[in-house]
Amino acid sequence: MSVLITGITGFVGSHLAKKLVDLDFDVVGIVRDLKPKTVLSYYGYDKKVTLIRGDVTDIELLTRIYADYDIEFVLHLAAEAIVGKAKKSPISTFRTNIIGTASVLEACRINGSVKCIVASTDKVYGYQPERLPYDEKTPLRPINIYDASKASADMIAQVYSKIYNTPVVITRCCNIYGFDLNMSRLIPTVIVSALRNERPVIRSDGTQVREYIYVEDVVNAYLTIMKKFDSLDGKAVNIGSGYIYSVLDAVKIILDLMHKNLEPIVLGEAKDEIKEQYLDSTHFKMLTNWKPRFSFEDGLKITIEEYKKYLGV
């Protein structure tokens, strides 16, 4: 089976590509820029996949790839995923996250047979609703640039499913962690700082509550969706772990696992972040029998060891 991954050199895309290659899938990826250091290249899997230079908004290119490589599934992960960068560059973010998603789906419509899994996010739910956790019936109410771009992409995917019968499933994951080379995210920052015996820096006031899921559980969720696609076609599904912590509590767990007595530096600069956010994943679990395999601590232990290897400590 041939699979196209947009965003293949990103965090989740790299881990997903690695798993699919190990399962003997033919994996194709679109890359806009060839970066010297990615999770994919760190594991040596950049040589085991077919990488094509191009832009995810290029419908002609996408259509050609679908046909030339006999693509059965496109896993659309390409996005500007960092909230701060999205706020600084809104037009670029909208182009990648919204037009990019529309282009991927339009190429699917033209092709007529490619099945698409679109990566959305729990951030599309935006403002804290009357009750938590969020379920799939919760209205999408984005509050910033990143949230708005992903909510727009999410709704575009729903429209393509309803209007054109394009085969599509939308995934709304909670905060994903694991071995990741993007040091702007919380967990990599804390682990790397601790390994260097430096106090970790927290941009917010640390009280925000989030749900955390290990990347391998997300990869397994994608594999499950591929296997059971027909029963999920047209649906948006929440994918969460049930492991819910404040930022400060998550940092404390990491430091305790690493046996580091380091006091975090709390900047309190992030003023527009959602206060509490976690998911009800019951619907997805009932439809597929998927469930997370890794506890928060177990996932962190594996992640910490990966960073030790990467940094040579």
The one-letter code for the residue type at 197 is N
Q: At what angle do helices 186-195 and 247-257 cross, to 10 degrees?
A: 30
Find, among 79, 58, 62, the residue nearest to 28 by Cα.
62
- Residue from 45, 66, 146, 222 carrying the catalytic annotation: 146
Q: For tokens 């594991």, name the residue.
A: 43
Q: Is 146 annotated as catalytic?
A: yes
The two beta strands, 168-173 and 115-119, are parallel
The two beta strands, 71-76 and 2-6, are parallel
The one-letter code for the residue type at 239 is I
Q: Kind and range of the H or E element at 75?
A: strand 71-76
Q: Which long-range contacts (CB under 8 A, 24 or more apart) does 220-225 make?
A: 220/290, 220/293, 221/171, 221/173, 221/284, 221/290, 222/16, 222/75, 222/117, 222/171, 223/19, 223/23, 224/288, 224/290, 225/117, 225/169, 225/171, 225/288
Joined together, the tokens standing for residue 293 give 């395999």
Residue length, the chain? 313
Joined together, the tokens standing for residue 53 give 């230079």
| Residues annotated as part of the active site | 146
